[in-house]
């Protein structure tokens, strides 16, 4: 059996409940976004990002609307381990990284030497890929979890703290305290993390900065760009230039 196996998915409303497997997994979003729940956190991979899931980690995977993604299963044998990350993360995907993922999923290798060389290149890309903090804690409270799922699965929806507290039939102050107790983050911090990942999917789908800013609850493109740069480290335009191939 090969050390790396590729899986292709082009699906609407994909959902795979909690499970684990003995191989490492890499899920790369070509179109749309993929969400992974693992270790009490959401790991959201927008277009041109990937989620890394080490072996034996119990996780759930799903997408909103139509998603196209490629998934690699990597044998965790000692000679394959090298310095692979031990914790789930969202990875930046270089052009070479992207082409290797697609190659393993969509093509066959002419010779064993060719496969082994590509295999080592892929492992190098995984090891040296920059990880980004697009993840948020999962609340344990079922009603709060349902609220978070509603926001994840409806990217165009906007919700204020007052509206969120009303959904849970709580006062504003009580909701603020309870949300932070459940997630370790304020509602504003959690919501901003979510909107960043959703905005990347919207930007890469061709929406204008103004449209994305409005969808994320900002009154101007400039204020949205400032928030984006603080979180990601570059402007939306710079992000698209570096990540659209």
Per-residue pLDDT tens for 62-112?
Answer: 886 677 889 999 987 765 666 788 899 999 898 999 999 999 998 777 788
Instruction: Output DSSP code: residue 83.
Output: T
Task: Out of 132, 164, 193, pick the residue that ends a domain.
Answer: 132
Give the Cα separation of 245 and 242 in Å (integer): 8
Provide the residue range defining the domain that includes 197: 139-243
Selection from 217, 201, 220 nearest residue 209 by Cα: 220
CA atoms within 13 A on the CB side of 238: 8
On whether both 76 and 52 belong to a single domain, the answer is yes
Per the CB < 8 A criterion, the answer to whether 64 and 150 are in contact is no
Handedness of CA 17, 19, 21, 26 (dihedral sign): positive
Per-residue pLDDT tens for 113-171?
Answer: 888 899 889 999 999 998 876 667 889 999 999 999 888 888 778 889 999 999 999 99
On whether both 97 and 185 belong to a single domain, the answer is no
Q: Which residues pair with 11 in a beta bridge?
A: 67
- Could you give the number of structural domains in the chain? 2
On whether both 120 and 154 belong to a single domain, the answer is no
Instruction: Output DSSP code: residue 140.
Output: S
On whether both 222 and 237 belong to a single domain, the answer is yes
Give the Cα separation of 191 and 45 in Å (integer): 16
Return all residues near 108 (Cβ < 8 A) that are at least 6 apart: none
Residue 243: its pLDDT value, please?
61
Residue 1: its pLDDT value, please?
44
Measured in degrees and rounded to the nearest 5, phi and psi for residue 76 equal -85, 35
Q: Residue 139 is encoded by which pair of tokens? A: 């609340």
**Residue 33 binned pLDDT confidence (cut-offs 50, 70, 90):** confident
Give the Cα separation of 97 and 176 in Å (integer): 41
On whether both 123 and 150 belong to a single domain, the answer is no
Crossing angle of helices 187-204/221-232, nearest 10°?
100
On whether both 121 and 145 belong to a single domain, the answer is no
On the 0-12 / 13-18 / 19+ scale of CB atoms within 10 A, 221 is middle
Measured in degrees and rounded to the nearest 5, phi and psi for residue 139 equal -70, 145
Residue 56: its pLDDT value, please?
94
Give the Cα separation of 165 and 169 in Å (integer): 6
On whether both 18 and 119 belong to a single domain, the answer is yes
Task: Out of 108, 132, 156, pick the residue that ends a domain.
Answer: 132
On whether both 218 and 99 belong to a single domain, the answer is no
On whether both 156 and 116 belong to a single domain, the answer is no
Task: Out of 132, 150, 179, pick the residue that ends a domain.
Answer: 132
On whether both 125 and 204 belong to a single domain, the answer is no
On whether both 123 and 54 belong to a single domain, the answer is yes
Per the CB < 8 A criterion, the answer to whether 201 and 240 are in contact is no
**Domain containing residue 171: CATH number:** 1.10.10.60
Per-residue pLDDT tens for 180-215?
Answer: 999 999 998 888 888 887 888 788 777 889 988 888
Residue 134: its pLDDT value, please?
66
Helices (H) and strands (E) in the chain, counts: 10, 11
On whether both 116 and 185 belong to a single domain, the answer is no
Residue 48: its pLDDT value, please?
79
């Amino acid at each position: 059996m090969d050390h790396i196996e590729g899986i292709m998915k082009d699906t609407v409303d994909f959902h795979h409940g909690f499970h684990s497997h003995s191989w490492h997994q890499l899920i790369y979003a070509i179109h749309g976004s993929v969400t992974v729940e693992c270790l009490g956190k959401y790991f959201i991979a927008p277009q041109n990002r990937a989620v890394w899931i080490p072996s034996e980690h119990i996780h759930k995977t799903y997408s909103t609307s139509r998603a196209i993604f490629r998934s690699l299963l990597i044998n965790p044998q000692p000679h394959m381990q090298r310095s692979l990350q031990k914790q789930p993360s969202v990875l930046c995907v270089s052009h070479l990284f992207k082409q290797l993922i697609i190659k393993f999923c969509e093509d066959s290798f002419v010779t064993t030497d060719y496969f082994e060389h590509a295999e080592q290149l892929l492992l190098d890309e995984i090891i040296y890929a920059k990880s980004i903090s697009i993840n948020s804690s999962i609340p344990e409270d079922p009603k709060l979890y349902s609220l978070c799922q509603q926001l994840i699965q409806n990217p165009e929806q906007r919700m204020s703290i007052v509206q969120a507290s009303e959904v849970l039939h709580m006062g504003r102050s009580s909701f603020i305290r309870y949300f932070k107790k459940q997630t370790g983050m304020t509602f504003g911090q959690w919501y901003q993390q979510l909107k960043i990942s959703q905005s990347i999917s919207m930007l890469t789908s061709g929406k204008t900065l103004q449209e994305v800013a409005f969808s994320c609850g900002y009154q101007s493109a400039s204020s949205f760009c400032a928030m984006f740069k603080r979180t990601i480290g570059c402007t939306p335009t710079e992000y698209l230039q570096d990540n659209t191939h």
